Amino acid sequence: MRYPDATALPGDVATERSLAGPLAPPGTYRVELTVDEQTFSESFEVRKDPRVAATQDDLEEQFGLLVQIREKLSETHEAIAELRDVRAQIEEWVRRTEGRPEGAAVTDAARPVTEKLAAIEQELVEPRITTQLDMVHFPTRLNAKLAALPSVIASADAAPTRQSYDVFADLSARIDQQIERWRDAREVDVPGFNTLIRDVGLPAVLPKAPD
């Protein structure tokens, strides 16, 4: 009865258990089964527990906020994955040109770009966490904070609290600031690096489109 999960960030232990999509609110739905090009469909109803005092509007409001959080978390993880791919390409060119005549120029051009990308990534995700135990040793970054919020909102059959909206707004604004920094790097710093490596006859660094 859940909607699709948030986009996962490969290797991110801090959020791998917090990606579940929101539960469908009470209402009428339709299920379809297709076999040998023939489709069968049937409607069904998800009903509220009669012991729950929350109204339909309360539950739909809760669902709406959970969907917003899922979308923001997916956007965050897609931006991190794209950033990491670009940084890996730049680092690969540094490695491949080491010892060659153009190597020093490539290394010098790459350093400020990779440092900027690393600083953005560090705000969004904690790459040093490789096991659940590591989470007590390193800071909780923005993506993990956002991923933890749905468990609070969905802990009861009720409309979200004002504090939940406030936390979501705060985290979203801070994430948007870092994503804007990434977009600026992608549109200004990466093309500048590409100009250099094209001058020495190397292929350009290209951001990978999200799956």
pLDDT at 203 over 90: no
Q: Are 29 and 146 in contact (CB under 8 A)?
A: no
**Adjacent-strand bridge partners of 39:** 34
pLDDT at 197: 81
Question: Cβ(9)–Cβ(32) under 8 Å?
Answer: no
Is the pLDDT score of 208 beyond 80? no
Q: Name 38's bridge partners.
A: 35
The C-alpha atoms of residue 60 and residue 190 are separated, in whole angstroms, by 43
Q: Which of 3-17, 62-76, 184-198 has the lowest mean pLDDT?
A: 184-198
Compute the distance between CA of residue 195 and CA of residue 203 in angstroms, rounded to an integer: 10
The band of 202, judged by pLDDT with boundaries at 50, 70 and 90, is confident
Higher pLDDT, 203 or 110: 110
52: DSSP letter: -
- DSSP per-residue letters across 79-123: HHHHHHHHHHHHHHHHHHTTTSTTHHHHHHHHHHHHHHHHHHHHH
> CA-based diameter of the chain, in Å?
75
Considering the chain, what is the average pLDDT of its residues?
Answer: 94
Q: What is the pLDDT of residue 134?
A: 87
Q: Model pTM?
A: 0.91
For the segment 85-103, the average pLDDT, to the nearest whole number, is 91
Question: Please, which pLDDT band fits residue 211 given cuts at 50, 70 and 90?
Answer: low
Mean pLDDT of 138-150: 97
Q: Does the pLDDT of residue 74 top 90, yes or no?
A: yes
CA distance 166 to 170: 6
**pLDDT tens-digit readout, 109-124:** 999 999 999 999 999 9
Per residue in 124-137, pLDDT tens?
999 999 888 888 89
